[in-house]
Amino acid sequence: MYWDLVRNYTVKEGYQNGYDEKAHAPFLWHPKKKVFITYEDMRSIKAKADWVKQNKYAGMFVWELSGDPDNVLTETMADNLKP
């Protein structure tokens, strides 16, 4: 869940942050544990909302909202889908 990644998968814990510009997807990498995690963040959601608008789709789909208890991802999506 997004909140768990933000709070617990940090540089302090050995994770490295990255962003795939082609896929518009953030990721975390832990070289010692060899753990690779992809997820959505505000930057990736904005990029995908922009794509939705450019291609004249009617909206976006959200799978699981409980991972966004502060609504930062949901608000990013809503704000960036406004005409």
Distance CA 43, CA 76 (A): 9
Query: What is the residue extent of each domain of the chain?
Result: 2-81
The contacts of residue 73 (CB under 8 Å, 6+ apart) are 2, 40, 41, 42, 45
What is the pLDDT averaged over residues 69-79?
A: 93
**What does pTM read for this prediction?**
0.85
pLDDT tens digits for range 8-44: 999 999 999 999 999 999 999 999 999 999 999 999 9
2-81: CATH class = alpha beta
Q: Please tell me the predicted confidence (pLDDT) of residue 65.
A: 81
With bands split at pLDDT 50, 70 and 90, how would you rate the model's confidence at 63? confident
Distance CA 49, CA 77 (A): 6
pLDDT score recorded for residue 53: 96
Give buried/exposed letters for 58-79 (b at 16+ CB in 10 A, else e).
eeeeeeeeeebeeeebeebbee
Q: Given this model, what pLDDT does residue 3 score? A: 87
Going by C-alpha positions, the residue among 47, 50, 60 that lies closest to residue 83 is 50
- pLDDT for residue 69: 85
